[in-house]
Amino acid sequence: MISDNIVIIAKKEIYSVKNIKDLNILKIKYLGKKGYITKQFLLIKTLNKEEKINKSIIINKQKKQIQKIIIKRKKEIELDKYDEKILNQKIDISLPGKYIEIGSEHPIKSIIYEIEEFFTQIGFKIVIGPEIEDVYHNFDALNISKNHPIRTEKDTFWLNKNTLLRTQTSNIQIRIMKKSKPPIRILTSGKVYRNDYDSNHTPMFHQIEGLFIDKKVTFSDLKGILILFLNYFFGKKCKIRFRPSYFPFTEPSLEVDILNNNQQWIEILGAGMVHPNVLKNVQINTSRYYGFAFGLGVERLAMLRYNINDIRLFYENDIRFLKQFKFNNFI
Is it the case that residue 176 has pLDDT exceeding 60?
yes
CATH number for the domain spanning 257: value is: 3.30.930.10
Among 88, 119, 152, residue at a domain's last position: 88
Is 84 among the domain residues?
yes
Residues 260-300 have pLDDT tens digits of 878 888 888 999 999 999 999 999 999 999 999 999 999 88
Q: Are residues 19 and 64 in the same domain?
A: yes
- Say how far apart CA 296 and CA 168 lie, in whole Å: 10
Domain count, the chain: 2
Both 115 and 64 in one domain: the answer is: no
Check whether 88 has a pLDDT greater than 80.
no
Give the distance, in angstroms, between the CA of residue 158 and the centroid of all CA atoms in the same chain. 23
Confidence of residue 80 (pLDDT cuts 50, 70, 90): confident
Distance CA 19, CA 81 (A): 9
What is the mean pLDDT of the segment spanning 156-175?
Answer: 92
Please tell me the predicted confidence (pLDDT) of residue 77.
86
pTM over 0.75: no
Among 59, 88, 117, the domain-final residue is 88
CA atoms within 13 A on the CB side of 289: 22
Supply the pLDDT for residue 329: 42
**Does some domain include residue 95?**
no
End-to-end CA separation in angstroms for the chain: 81
Residue 100 within a domain: no
Q: Is 1 within a domain?
A: no
Report whether pLDDT(199) > 50.
yes
Same domain, 51 and 148: no
What is the per-residue pLDDT across 98-117, written as a single tens digit (0 to 9) for each? 777 777 788 888 899 999 99
Same domain, 56 and 115: no
More confident residue, 324 or 103: 324
Q: Are 33 and 76 in a shared domain?
A: yes
Sign of CA dihedral 322, 328, 330, 331: positive
Res 328: pLDDT: 43
**Residue 33 lies in domain:** 6-88
Q: Which amino acid is at 294?
A: F
User: pLDDT-derived band of residue 130, with 50, 70 and 90 as boundaries?
Assistant: very high
